[in-house]
Amino acid sequence: MKVLLVEDDRALSERLERVLTEAGFTVHAVTDGKEALYVGENFPLDAVVLDLGLPELDGLSVLEQWRRGGHKVPVLVLTARARWSDKLSAFNAGADDYVTKPFEMDEVVVRLRALIRRSTGHVHPELECGPLRLDTHDQRLTVNGETVLLTSHEFRLLSYLMHHRDRVVSRTDIFEHVYDADADRDSNVIDVLMARIRRKLGVPLIHTVRGAGYRLSWEP
Ligand code: CA
């Protein structure tokens, strides 16, 4: 799941990026409002973590412009302001949730996962498909009750497919949601990763849809 992290405090941004990456997200970090606006409008994202006090363009204006443009990405606002009126303006601008600084890193992770789950129509942290159970909290996969260990890229890919169960996802979608922006697009990394996951699952749940991409489904 690709997350845009907008935070101008470098130290905080680095800590958040590390924690989010460890939690299985693909992170695109930017430090000012103008760049955030550009990335949000030009790259596919699953969620945004948005600081409000930013150079160039403040967080509320960024959010308002996205929403005016019909951009529905779930947004978690980071706010140093404890005043209710500030939280209210964040919600009025289109925020889905907020955390007040200083916050526990884990709280950001938990709230972000909940936002992404809800935005893709899932209400429970455990995603399932036939014999697969993927617990998005502790990144644990079981197949027929047996634990299967995944690398971080394997987890990201499977999590993306399971959030979009029964739908065809293109190779471009997969690439953009699973890999960092600077990854090498010309290589056959997706094929290699897909082959590895299929072997690990041991059950034919990932179907190749010729010319279109892949579909994770219990139905053949
Ligand atoms: Ca700030």
Q: Output the CA 31–ligand 1 centroid distance in Å.
A: 9
- Give CA–CA dist 114/105, Å, rounded: 15
Q: Output the CA 7–ligand 1 centroid distance in Å.
A: 6
User: Where do we find the tokens 């034919």?
Assistant: 204
**pLDDT exceeds 80 at position 183:** no
Q: Output the CA 86–ligand 1 centroid distance in Å.
A: 14
Give the pLDDT confidence score for residue 74 in this predicted structure: 96
pTM, entire model: 0.78
User: Where do we find the tokens 């082959």?
Assistant: 195
Identify which of 186, 187, 191 has the alpha carbon closest to the alpha carbon of residue 208: 191
Tens-digit pLDDT profile for residues 115-156: 998 888 877 788 999 999 999 888 899 999 999 999 988 999
Q: Output the CA 9–ligand 1 centroid distance in Å.
A: 6
186 pLDDT tier (thresholds 50, 70, 90)? low
Identify which of 207, 35, 37, 216 has the alpha carbon closest to the alpha carbon of residue 127: 216
Q: Output the CA 59–ligand 1 centroid distance in Å.
A: 9
Alpha carbon distances (Å) from 143 to 93, 133, 166: 42, 7, 18
Helix (H, G, I), strand (E, B) or coil at 73: coil
Identify which of 35, 50, 40, 55 has the alpha carbon closest to the alpha carbon of residue 93: 50
Q: Output the CA 20–ligand 1 centroid distance in Å.
A: 18
Give the pLDDT confidence score for residue 23 in this predicted structure: 93
Q: Output the CA 92–ligand 1 centroid distance in Å.
A: 20
Instruction: Please state the rounded mean pLDDT for residues 54-82.
Output: 92
Burial of 104 per CB tally in 10 Å (0-12, 13-18, 19+)? exposed
Q: What is the mean pLDDT of the chain?
A: 91
Q: Output the CA 40–ligand 1 centroid distance in Å.
A: 18
Give the pLDDT confidence score for residue 122 in this predicted structure: 78
- Give CA–CA dist 122/93, Å, rounded: 25
Q: Output the CA 41–ligand 1 centroid distance in Å.
A: 21
Whether residue 101 contacts residue 189, with contact meaning beta carbons closer than 8 Å, is answered with: no
Instruction: Please state the rounded mean pLDDT for residues 151-165.
Output: 92
